[in-house]
Structure 1
Amino acid sequence: MLVSISEAWGGRGEFELRSRRGYTRRFLGRSSRSDDSELDIKRSPLCPQVGDLDPYDRLAVIRRVQVRLIDFTDREWEITVTSSTDVPEREISPLEKPAEISWDSDQFEATTMLDRDGRPVTNSAGDLVLFPYEDSRWVANVSKNVARVPRWITQFNNAINSGSIIVDGIRFPKRTLMCKHLRIGTQQTTKVNDREVEFRVLTFQLHVRHGGWRITHPDVGFNERRPALRPVRNRRTGAILTDGDGLPRYVQTTIRERIRIGEPPEYPSEPQPLDEQGRVIVDPTPDDIRQIEIDRYRELPFSRLPLR
């Protein structure tokens, strides 16, 4: 790394008309370590950088920097800087490019208890039947070049949006998008305006479910809750307490027990539908089937994702 730099003799100028000027300037620098390389000198904060303005002509821009070791003992370097007012068209860095978003549909097989008109599907005995069917959802494929991949990005896999968000000009309500298939590409290097730019390609998918991503399941089971009387016991001794007539005291409660149906009652081989109190529904119709809904997926602010 450079510890000092000064202008040396031998600078020259090249002129074409008044609007076009070019310069070659030589500097003498001294480094702090014997193992410094040309790349170390070029990266030093004291060394002129490609793309900076010429220190003696603010309309000229540095186009090239060459470094050569001239004295190993004193660690002296010759630094040749070429600048010009002839500015080429500025190249766009990969990091300045906006996110690329494309759309397609994701096909998958699902099951349903309803037909296309929303009516329950039953067999000839009136029992509810689950049928497989083909379904699809819209998917946004997002690709973005990033200088570095933040650690928090991995938390977004299988997360849903905690708030309303605009993707490719379309607004989606909260809990209707799920982030999937996160992929972090290998590190790439390219030259832009004579400077090296390092980046990675970050890709992910946003799956759309307009009804939200809550998980639903029929409220069915092999056990039910039934009302029962429980004797009141002394908390210390465990003895059953009695009333003024000497009869045992009871309180109303509920117990869980195995469901039995039919005549004579038998244990069913399939889970049975339950009502809001957890009681088995005798001779249920498809409209009696209740749904259990749960929030399973983590909600995160999708505004942090690189969508622009």
Structure 2
Amino acid sequence: MVVLVEHSKEKRSKELPMFNPRLYVFDIDGTLLTTDYKILPSTRKAIALLSERGGQIMLASARPPKAMDPIAREFNLDPLYISLNGALVVQGERLLSAQAMPFQAAQRVISIALEAGLSVNVYSFWDWFIGETNAWSTHEGDMVGFYGEVRDLSTVQEVHKILLLGEQEKIVQVQDRLTRHVPEVVASRSIPNYLEVVDARVSKGRALSLVSELLDVDVRHIVAVGDGENDLAMLRLAGFSVAMGNAHPSLRAEAHFVTGSNNQDGILQAVLKIMDLGGVSL
């Protein structure tokens, strides 16, 4: 069941009459995909409904572009992506925007993570590098369909994202250390065992603002759907926001709608509710 989260009567009365979405932005993992990385039949139906009604749909993910391509093909979407949590905006092989973190800051992040025993994954443009192959990096490769290249991470000059993988307790501790000691970056959890680190100027929200300008779509006419801490800025920017039932509490507290989980037809429930509210693109 879709639950409407009421922030205030004033907010609802102002926004619902203006509800005319032109762009729908979806996170991938924990949103379009189930916990075991499958696409539910109901999710396929939901995306097809939006496409049939002229809705423009795009993906926004912590994944690198290469790992987003198969998902876009599954839904017959254009390859316009917000990638690496907003550090990259790409259209096919064309780079529209990129924001790397300072080199020394990236090296401090790597040092702190290795000291804590976390798996370190470094992303630079379209490339994924690892210092060594381990169970965590192998699992990530199995999930996205390709594997990181082993390399001396101190030689990667332009770092757009660092993904840290490990036990939840260690992830929380490292997130706290990075927040206190490396102000040039921001660290957020997409899921409990994944800590996503990007330049402090980067977010899915800032990238979505750029996309809205490129597509000439007012942010008031954007619907954003997500589940992780890294989706919060995107949901705050969008005219209408949907948090998955499995979303981080911060998203559920701020979203206009809280739908079912990624394992329980949440995407279809949300799309049907949006249509009930008049969400048909012009």
TM-score (norm 2): 0.17
Q: State the TM-score, normalized to the length of structure 1.
A: 0.16
Q: Which has the higher contact order (CA 8 A, sep 6+)?
A: 2
The structure having more radius of gyration, on CA atoms, is 1
Structure with greater strand share of residues:
1
